[in-house]
Structure 1
Amino acid sequence: MSGFRIEIVGSSQSRSGMPNPSNFEEALRTTGIGHFCFRVDDVDTALTELNQRGVQTFVEAADYPNVGVRVGFIKDNNGNVIEFSGPLKLIESKTY
């Protein structure tokens, strides 16, 4: 794929200020730039590499089949939430 995609995320429960959110739901209720997203080939690999470099995962990678993506989140050194989005993780089905 080429090009880029911009997501704009909003909430009707916004509040002013720039608190350091402790979870993603809280981050969505903060006014200003809520987060930005990088599209990657493999979300788990991206998060693992960042973890190895000392960056902690903010929200563990998870599949969202309703929108067709797998996403995971970190926070940068200023508390900004950064999303990594990629293809759904295929789970091998077992046959008995």
Structure 2
Amino acid sequence: SLTVNGYNHVCLSVDDVDAALEELRARGVDIVNPPFEIDDISARLAFFRDPWGNMFELSERTGDGHAH
């Protein structure tokens, strides 16, 4: 799990994690991991870091008939 007590990060809700990552990569952003899905929370997630090492999470809602 990426959850650690005392650790905080910013979560950004996006319509399409893969499209957001593609844009971030094109801008030279440090992508931490490939997208992955957590069915329990119906979300597709990925993490990236800004130039100062701050962690950000991208979250896309899945399920509820949302096609991938």
- Under a length normalisation based on structure 2, what TM-score does the superposition of the two structures give? 0.79
Larger Rg: 1
Identity score, percent: 32
**Match in the other structure for 2:37:** 63
Greater than 2 Å deviation, 4+ residue runs:
87-91
Selected match of 1:85 from 43, 59, 67: 59
Note if 1:50 corresponds to 2:24: yes
Amino acid at match of 2:23: E
Selected match of 1:72 from 43, 46, 56: 46
What is the number of equivalent residue pairs in this alignment? 65
Structure 1 unaligned blocks of 5 or more: 1-23, 92-96
Higher relative contact order (CA 8 A, sep 6+): 2
- Under a length normalisation based on structure 1, what TM-score does the superposition of the two structures give? 0.58
Change (3 A) 1:55 1:80: same
Q: Alignment partner of 2:35: what SS?
A: strand
Structure 2 unaligned blocks of 5 or more: none
- When the two chains are superposed, the root-mean-square deviation of aligned CA atoms in Å is 2.1
